Amino acid sequence: MTGGPATPAPSIVPAPRQAPDALVEYLLRLGDDRLVLGHRLSEWCGHGPILEEDIALSNVALDLLGQATMFLRLAGQVEGRGRDEDALAYFREVVDFRNCQLVELPNGDFGFTIARQFLFDVHAVVVLDALSRSGNAELAAIAAKSLKEAKYHVRHSGEWVLKLGDGTAESHQRIQRAFDALWRFTPELFAADVVDAAMLAAGVGPDLAALQAVWDGLVRDVVERATLSLPHAAPPIAGRSGRQGSHTEALGHLLAEMQIVARSHPGAKW
């Protein structure tokens, strides 16, 4: 045999991927949920049904983006590869995002936005409440601060569920339709995988199964008072979840818009 050093033959067996750090993954989930939903809500700014709602939805968007900044910054620090919150927000691909699919769905009408927000806000309150007692002190501090905001958010979205559900025939029909369409995206909120199991074992994250019962009770209470009904248990969407990088097609369009300026000028400061 002659020639230089042999190049390894391409293998059909993929190289073992380094197991992702569970804490980084977990922080990305928390950060991406809030980044994507905050972005969606900000799309309403200037287009709300009433001026007061332009202000209210912007407030929620601001809180969520502030929380996303803190969670993503911490994720970057724990990861230790020099990525800050902007690198994570602006220079990752769709399949690298770890948000649940619920938050990436396009806004639809105001009823759809409110129903989506309410389902998320209740989730945020129960999860952040648990995380505020996390064994990870930095995570616990961010969760405690975010929890205060989330309590306002759920009050806002919950009041609108009541107003729309028990308002006019049209509003009732619209928000009922929204809950019907959104319900199949809710199992994902509590579907625990290896990352959640690792976080639970490490005393960092909560027992999602236990939280689901709390969430379900809180959601049902408001929905029933709003004279609405929830669909029967929806089968989870088949395949991998948003937590593992599988998303609806809507997320790619959202990111294309969000990332266009940053990516057009790599290395630039803003």
- Minimal distance in Å, beta carbon 166 to other proteins? 6
Binding site for other proteins (CB under 8 A): 35, 39, 42-43, 45-55, 58-59, 61-62, 65-66, 68-69, 72, 85-86, 89-90, 109-111, 162-164, 166-168, 170-171, 174, 257-258, 260-262, 265, 267-270
The answer to whether 150 and 125 are in contact (CB under 8 A) is: yes
CB of 226 to other proteins, least distance (A): 10
Alpha-carbon distance of 247 to 105, in angstroms, equals 10
Closer Cβ to other proteins, 42 or 244, answer by number: 42
DSSP letters along 65-132, please?
HHHHHHHHHHHHHHHTSS--HHHHHHS--GGG----GGGGS---SHHHHHHHHHHHHHHHHHHHHHHT
Please state the closest distance from residue 121 (CB atom) to other proteins, in A: 18
Shortest Cβ distance from residue 41 to other proteins (Å)? 9
Closer residue to other proteins in complex, CB, 14/267: 267
CA distance 231 to 17: 40
**Which tokens hold the place of 124?**
């945020």
Structure tokens at 200: 């639970």
| Smallest distance, other proteins to C-beta of residue 162, A | 7
Q: Which residue has the tokens 């008072």?
A: 225
Pick 181 or 192: Cβ nearer other proteins: 181
Toward other proteins, which CB reaches closer, 137 or 270?
270
* Residue closer to other proteins, measured from CB, 166 or 216: 166
